[in-house]
Amino acid sequence: MDLFLSLQNAIIKYTDKNAFFINGVFYKYYELARVISKIRKSIQDNTIDTDKYIGLILNDDLETYAAIIAIWFEGKAYVPINPETPRDRNENIIKQAVLKTIIDSSDNSLFPEYILISSNNLPDTSIDLEPKYTSEEESVYLLFTSGTTGQPKGVPITRENITGFVTAFWEMGFNIDENDRFLQMFDLTFDLSVMSYLIPLLKGACIYTIPKNKIKFGYIFELLDEQRLTFALMVPSMLQYLRPYFDEMDFPDMKYSMFCGEALALDITEEWANCLPNAKIYNVYGPTEDTIFCTHYAFERMTSNKSHNGVLSIGKAMKGTSTIIVDDQNQVLPSGSVGELCLGGVQLTPGYWKNEVINKKAFFYTKYNGIKERFYKTGDLCERDKEGDMMYIGRVDFQTQIQGFRVELSEVEFHAKTFLEKINVVAVTFADAIGNTEIGLVIESNEFGNASLYDYMKIKMPSYMIPNQIKFINKFSLNANGKIDRNKLKLLFKATENDRN
């Protein structure tokens, strides 16, 4: 399967169909082709063959999505840069990726010291959608996730990885064509966005995005209702916001409803199913390191579903993915045992970007079906039942998901400790009043004004990583192992409070 050749053919074939619905405006595939070609010509004029990575400032417009495809057709990879993220974090990403060129569709360049391609102000050129040949080992994107030392970790995904995902996706049996309407609710720094725009583009379907100035759950409600969407991949926390309106919702056009990025509760899934009388509902799972998602579980109506502690099963591996559950020594455990889920196969990243130290910790080789295979340690505790379905138990470490974004609590602690110097802090998670995961920060100190701490964290971390509440305690409690008792610290936080400035 030549993924980008398929993408080229789809853009040409469905030239008069709607490709995007952005901020109330429809854009045809021929308009997408024209913008791709203009950006592509500018890439050719401003980069050399060895410039494999190009920065992309993320805006909700046709030019931003066209830039991704232009970059791909040029045999290069994009590095997403969120303009709302603190500047020093973005500069860290730019330096790690050694970027020389940045594409931006806005009028105000955030990084004038780099070669800038202003994608909203380029001259027309002839249509050029012929993909350049590149090897399967070349990257298609480089995403940076939260890191334990305060430095974001780069995850490169290759052509082979993304092709493996697309192949496995179609193997799941989805019936999608040019008449489908897809929700794209994700920030482009979040890899679930890749499925939300790539899969529909391959079939000539239309993609509906969420404007940054809109309340996300409210706008999704409008799109589901007024635009009669047929396919939606969402993070489970979105259901918590929609839940008060379930009685008003009836979306018979929805064909497929998928959830990923957080644990999916069985009870709310059962309620949501009533809003989508004709839809198939899937819980899918996968870290950035294994290309979007790699396991799936189909929710069944009018019968029991597999779950653990009220959390729906993450199911079985998709085609091309290997899954094992191991103990602390990386020894494979039999079915029925709880251990760390590890992933291998065609979707697995080559490794963290220029970080051999963490690669040695996160990846290892072991025998799988009699063959030596490379696996990634997800940090997720799981149990596989006799039928091969996996139950999600919890986290091995202190990594969590906030609004679908992966967050290392140790990074939150790192920045807080840096500001507070010698004062100790612990970051924990708790459920807010509607059941979504929030971050709480406990400071081992007498109480003091925390406004300056909030101000510091706001320039160091994205908004979803800023603690919602800060508490003070004179002395941390220790558990039987002599470690800080985080479970006791969680009890300090109340779901009805919100102390964020």
Q: How many helices (H) and strands (E) does the chain have?
A: 13, 27
CATH of the domain at 233: 3.40.50.12780
Question: How would you classify residue 376: left for phi > 0, otherwise alpha for psi between -120 and 50, otherwise beta?
Answer: beta
Residues 163-210 have pLDDT tens digits of: 999 999 999 999 999 999 999 999 999 999 999 999 999 999 999 999
233-273 residue pLDDT tens? 999 888 988 999 999 999 999 999 999 988 898 999 999 99
437 closest CA partner among 483, 486, 474, 400: 400
- Residue at 260 is within a domain: yes
Residue 175 exposed, middle or buried by CB count within 10 Å (0-12, 13-18, 19+): exposed
> In the beta sheet, which residues pair with residue 425?
443
* 135 within a domain of the structure (yes/no): yes
Looking at per-residue pLDDT, the higher value among 402 and 296 belongs to 296
Residue where a domain stops, chosen among 256, 285, 314: 285
Residues 406 and 275 in one domain: no
Q: To 10 degrees, the CA torsion angle through 357, 362, 364, 370?
A: -160
70-122 tens-digit pLDDT: 999 999 999 999 999 999 999 999 999 999 999 999 988 889 889 999 999 99
Residue with tokens 């004029």: 45
Regarding whether 422 and 281 lie in a shared domain, the answer is: no
Name, in order, each residue with C-beta under 8 angstroms of 275's C-beta and a sequence gap of 6 or more: 246, 249, 250, 251
Distances (CA, A) of 41 to 11, 164, 347, 406: 18, 29, 31, 35
Q: Are residues 257 and 113 in the same domain?
A: yes
Q: Which of 285, 314, 332 is the last residue of a domain?
A: 285
The CATH number assigned to the domain holding 407 equals: 3.30.300.30
- Residues 145 and 13 grouped into a single domain: yes
Domain residue limits at 431: 400-490
Is residue 345 situated within a structural domain? Answer: no
Look up residue 149 and give its two tokens.
């030392």
Together in a domain, 271 and 130: yes
User: Are both 279 and 412 inside the same structural domain?
Assistant: no
Domain total in the chain: 2
Query: What tens digit of pLDDT does each residue of 212-241 get?
Result: 888 888 999 999 999 999 999 999 888 988
For the record, the structure tokens of 363 come out as: 């990846």
Nearest to 146 by CA among 258, 285, 289, 262: 289
- Two tokens, residue 249: 């919702």
Q: Is residue 445 part of a domain?
A: yes
Residues 239, 106 share a domain: yes
334 domain-assigned? no
- Whether residue 392 lies inside any domain: the answer is no
CA distance 478 to 488: 9
Residue 498 lies in a domain: no
Residues 6+ apart with CB under 8 A from 286: 260, 292, 293, 294, 295, 343, 347
What does the alpha-carbon distance between residue 32 and residue 11 come to, in Å, rounded to a whole number? Answer: 8
pLDDT band for position 500 (cuts 50, 70, 90): very low
Using the 3D structure, point to which of 285, 314, 339 is the last residue of a domain. Answer: 285
Is the separation of the CB atoms in 119 and 103 below 8 Å?
yes
What confidence category does residue 499 fall into, taking pLDDT thresholds of 50, 70 and 90? very low
* Residue 335 placed within a domain: no
pLDDT tens profile 382-413: 999 999 999 998 888 766 788 888 787 878 88
